[in-house]
Amino acid sequence: MSVTDVRSATGEKLAELAAGPAPRAALIGYLPVGFPSVPGSARAVRTMVEAGVDIVELGVPYTDPVMDGPVIQAAANHALAHGTRVPDTLRVAEQVADAGAPVLVMTYWNLVLRYGVDAFARDLAAAGGAGLITPDLIPDEGGEWIAAADAHGLDRVFLVAPSSTPERLASTVAASRGFVYAASTMGVTGERATVGERAEQLVADTRAAGASRVCVGLGVSRPEQAAQVAGYADGVIVGSALVRPLLEATDESAGLDALAAVVGGLAEGVRSASRNPR
C-alpha cells in the first residue's frame, strides 16, 4: 500500500535533504519526554535541532521498554519517577513543532491502546506531530493504527530487522509511510563499537522490497559511524548517545551544551559521508 494521497512530513524532509545542493542523509535524534524534566526535554529537543538534528524522535517513557538498553531505560525510569505522563508527550510535541524538524513519537504500544488509538492519532496530529515509530507493533497487529494514521495524516514508521524475511520486508514496507526503520543489529538500543555489518545489506534488501526511504538505528553513537551509515541510508537514527550527555551532566545547562556538542559531531559526520550511488 503506497499511500500517495496522504502527505508525509518526514518523507518530504528526507526527500528535500536528498535533493539539495549537497545531497545527504538525515540525522534523526531521539530524546525521551520528561528527561531531565518535561520542560527540560522540550529545551533539549530544541537544542538538538539547532545543533543539526533534521528529524526528531520523541520517546514516551514506559515501564517495560523491552527494546531499550540501559541508557534509555535509566532516562525513562527517571521521567516516570518524576511524574511524566503520556499527554506530556503531546504537549512537548506541540512546543517543539516549530523548531524546524518534523516530530515523530516513538512509543510502546500499550500506551497508545490505553489512550485510544484514534484519539492519540487525532491529538498528535493536532499537536503538529508527524507520526509514530512503533517498536513493539508489527503491521500484522496494526490495523487500527494504520486506519487512524490515514485518517489523521500521520506517518507510520515500522521496523525491519536483519532477521526479517523477504515476505516480511515487503509487508512492512507496504504498511510504512515516511520511512522504514532498519534495526542495524539484533539487539536493543545502546551505543556500540561498530554498527552491525548487516545494516547495509538490510537497507539494500528493504529498498529491494519497495521502500523508497530507509533509515538506520540501534548502535549508532559516533561521528564516523554516522558518516558510514549516511553513505548508504536515508537517515541515521541516534538515541542513547544523545541521552548519555544529559544523564551524565551535573546541571541542565551543562547537559544541553554537551548534547549540542555531540549532535554537532554527528551532523558533521552525516555531512561528510560519501554517498553510494543508488
Partner 1 sequence: MSAPAPGRGQTGRKMRDALLAGGPLARHEGPYFGDFGGRFVPEALIGALDELETHYRKALADPAFSDELERLHRTYTGRPSPITEVPRFARHVGEGVRVFLKREDLNHTGSHKINNVLGQALLVKRMGKHRVIAETGAGQHGVATATAAALLDLECVVYMGEEDTQRQALNVARMELLGATVVPVTIGARTLKDAINEALRDWVANVETTHYMLGTVTGPHPFPEMVRDFHRVIGDEARAQMLDETGALPDAVVACVGGGSNAMGIFNAFLDDPQVRLFGFEAGGEGIASGRHSARFSGGAPGVLHGARSYLLQDEDGQTLPSHSVSAGLDYPSVGPEHAWLHETGRAQYRPVTDDEAMQAFRLLCRTEGIIPAIESAHALAGAIKLGAEAATWAQDGREPVLLVNLSGRGDKDVATAAAWFGLIEPEPVLKADEGEQL
Binding site for partner 1 (CB under 8 A): 62-67, 69-70, 73, 77, 80-81, 85-86, 109-115, 135-138, 140-141, 158-165, 168, 172, 183, 185-188
For partner 1, the closer CB: 78 or 152: 78
Task: Check if 57 is active-site.
Answer: yes
- Tell me whether residue 97 or residue 138 sits nearer to partner 1 (CB atom): 138
Q: Output the smallest distance, CB 255 to partner 1, in A.
A: 21
End-to-end CA distance of the chain: 23
- Cα-based distances in Å from 226 to 14, 40, 230, 245, 271: 16, 26, 6, 18, 9
Q: How far is the CB of 254 from partner 1 (least distance, A)?
A: 24
Catalytic hit among 12, 54, 68, 200: 68
Give the other-Cβ count within 10 Å of 249's Cβ: 16
Distance CA 50, CA 48 (A): 5
CB of residue 117 to partner 1, shortest distance in Å: 12
Considering the complex, what minimum distance in angstroms separates the CB of residue 23 from partner 1? 29
Element (H, E) at 131: strand 131-133
> Quick check: bond before 36 cis, omega within 30?
yes
Reported as type and span, the H/E element at residue 217 is: strand 214-217
Please, what is the minimum distance in Å from the beta carbon of residue 77 to partner 1? 5
Residue among 54, 57, 155, 200 flagged as catalytic:
57
SS3 8: coil
CA distance 114 to 111: 5
**Closest to partner 1 by CB, 89 or 228:** 89
Rounded CA-CA distance 34/44 in Å is 10
- Give the residue numbers marked as catalytic: 57, 68
